[in-house]
C-alpha cells in the first residue's frame, strides 16, 4: 500500500503563487470592469463614444493603475503571510488524509481537498475557500509510483477530471 508523506511550508514563493493564481483567475476581470466604469464615470463629458480610441487609452491606463496597486498589496500580504512559517505535514492514503499542523494530528477524508489541479510542474490543492488556502506539491518531490497513486486517488475522489492528463 502506497503512503505519501510530504511537508507543505508557507514560503514566499508558494504564498505568492497562490495569490497570483487567484488574482489572475478572478480579480483581473473585476478590476478591468471597475476601471471601465471609473474611466467612463470620470471622463464621460469629454469622451464622445465608449467605442473610441480615446476611451480605450483612458481605460487601459486606469486598468494598469488598479492592477499595479492590487499587485503591490498582494506582494505585501504574501510577505507578511510567509513570515509565519508553520509546516503542514500531510500523509495521503487511499482511504484518508492525515494532517499534522502545530502539533495536532487530524485524520481527514478526501473532502478536505475542495479542488485539485494538475499542471506540468505541480499539483495544486484548494483546502479552504475563506480564507483561501492553497497547497502546492511539486512533481519533482514525487517518484513515479507516488505520482500515479496520488493522481489515481484524486480522480477516484472526484478532485481531478479523468481526462486531465498532464505530462
Is residue 166, in this structure, part of any structural domain at all? no
Query: pLDDT for 57-73, tens place per residue?
Result: 989 999 999 999 999 99
Q: Does 70 lie in the same domain as 98?
A: no
Mean pLDDT across 1-29: 84
Is residue 162, in this structure, part of any structural domain at all? no
Show which of 48, 82, 116 is a domain's final residue. Answer: 82
Q: Does 65 lie in the same domain as 52?
A: yes
Is residue 64, in this structure, part of any structural domain at all? yes
Q: Does 90 lie in the same domain as 77?
A: no
Whether 162 has a pLDDT exceeding 90, the answer reads no
User: Could you tell me if 4 and 150 are in contact, meaning their C-beta atoms sit under 8 angstroms apart?
Assistant: yes
Q: Does 114 lie in the same domain as 66?
A: no
Q: Does 61 lie in the same domain as 111?
A: no
Is residue 167, in this structure, part of any structural domain at all? no
Show which of 52, 82, 112 is a domain's final residue. Answer: 82
16-19 contact pairs (CB < 8 A, 24+)? 16/74, 16/75, 16/78, 16/82, 17/136, 18/124, 18/132, 18/134, 18/136, 19/74, 19/77, 19/78
For residues 77-108, one letter each, b for 16 or more C-beta atoms within 10 angstroms of the residue's C-beta and e for the rest, the string is: ebeebbeeeeebebebbeeebebeeeeeeeee
Q: Does 145 lie in the same domain as 129?
A: yes
pLDDT computed for residue 167 by the predictor: 46
Mean pLDDT across 5-26: 85
Q: Does 128 lie in the same domain as 93?
A: yes
Q: Which helix (H) or strand (E) holds 134?
A: strand 133-138
pLDDT computed for residue 7 by the predictor: 87
Q: Does 90 lie in the same domain as 74?
A: no
The domain total for the chain is: 2
Omega prior to 131 cis, within 30 of 0: yes
pLDDT computed for residue 64 by the predictor: 92
**Predicted TM-score (pTM) above 0.75:** no
Q: Which helix (H) or strand (E) holds 97?
A: strand 97-101
Show which of 30, 54, 82 is a domain's final residue. Answer: 82
Q: Does 103 lie in the same domain as 60?
A: no
Q: Name the DSSP class of 81.
A: H
Mean pLDDT across 15-30: 86
pLDDT computed for residue 1 by the predictor: 67
Q: Find the CATH number of the domain harbouring 119.
A: 2.30.29
Query: pLDDT for 113-142, tens place per residue?
Result: 998 999 888 898 888 766 667 888 888 888
Is residue 92, in this structure, part of any structural domain at all? yes
104 φψ region: left (φ > 0), alpha (ψ -120 to 50), beta (else): beta
Is residue 164, in this structure, part of any structural domain at all? no
**Structural domain span for residue 50:** 12-82
Amino acid at each position: 500500500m502506497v503512503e505519501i508523506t510530504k511537508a507543505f511550508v508557507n514560503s514566499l514563493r508558494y504564498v505568492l503563487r497562490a495569490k497570483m493564481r487567484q488574482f489572475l483567475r478572478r480579480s483581473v476581470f473585476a478590476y478591468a470592469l471597475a476601471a471601465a466604469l471609473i474611466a467612463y464615470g470620470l471622463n464621460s463629458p469629454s469622451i464622445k463614444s465608449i467605442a473610441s480610441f480615446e476611451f480605450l487609452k483612458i481605460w487601459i491606463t486606469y486598468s494598469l493603475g488598479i492592477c499595479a496597486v492590487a499587485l503591490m498589496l498582494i506582494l505585501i500580504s504574501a510577505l507578511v503571510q510567509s513570515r509565519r512559517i508553520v509546516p503542514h505535514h500531510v500523509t495521503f492514503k487511499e482511504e484518508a488524509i492525515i494532517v499534522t499542523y502545530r502539533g495536532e494530528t487530524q485524520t481527514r477524508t478526501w473532502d478536505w481537498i475542495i479542488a485539485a489541479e494538475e499542471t506540468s510542474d505541480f499539483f495544486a490543492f484548494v483546502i479552504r475557500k475563506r480564507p483561501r488556502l492553497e497547497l502546492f506539491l511539486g512533481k519533482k518531490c514525487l517518484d513515479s509510483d507516488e505520482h500515479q497513486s496520488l493522481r489515481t486517488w484524486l480522480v477516484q475522489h472526484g478532485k481531478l477530471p479523468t481526462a486531465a492528463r498532464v505530462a
